[in-house]
Amino acid sequence: MIHAARIVLALVLFVFGLNGMLHFLPVPPPPAPAEAFRQALVDSGYMLPLWKGVEFLGAALLLADVWVPFALVILTPVLVNIFLFHLFLAPAGLGLAVTMLVLTAFLAWRRRTAFAGLFT
């Protein structure tokens, strides 16, 4: 179960992270507030590439089953942002965002000993 959760999460993040850089999948137009937020990230010149780069790197680490706790640490802020983006700006993707957060929480729980030092 843990391997399936890791691979599913990694594949979703890998595809969407790569698509954010290469634009090979069509993306339906988001609602106006969501598009304004996305455009602000693009206009910053660094935020969207940083976000998609972290998404891609974290997914690659999960796929390779290397440094999984580190991958979860760098992916969590990205996934919380994705969840909040869909919760407040583009509800159509909320189901997938919740699924990714649940998979992340499950993986973190299964590797909780790696995070023990953060909570002492």
Is 118 inside a domain boundary? no
pLDDT in tens, 60-73: 999 999 999 999 99
- The pLDDT-based confidence of 88 (bands split at 50, 70, 90) is very high
For residue 117, give Cα distances in angstroms to 39, 75, 105.
38, 19, 17
State how many domains the chain has. Answer: 1
Is 119 inside a domain boundary? no
Among 80, 58, 81, 60, CA closest to 71 = 58
Contact call for residues 12 and 100 (beta carbons, < 8 A): yes
pLDDT at 21 over 80: no
- Domain of 62 in residue numbering reads as 2-23+31-113
Is 80 inside a domain boundary? yes
Q: Give SS3 for 111.
A: coil
pLDDT at 98 over 90: yes
Give the model's pLDDT for residue 68: 95
Place of tokens 């996305």: 38
Is 89 inside a domain boundary? yes
- CA atoms of 97 and 59, how far apart (whole Å): 15
Q: What is the pTM of this model?
A: 0.89
* Burial (Cβ within 10 Å: 0-12, 13-18, ≥19) of residue 10: buried
Is 120 inside a domain boundary? no
Is 40 inside a domain boundary? yes
Structure tokens at 20: 């954010």
Nearest-5° Cα angle at 62, 104 to 94: 35
- CA atoms of 91 and 5, how far apart (whole Å): 23
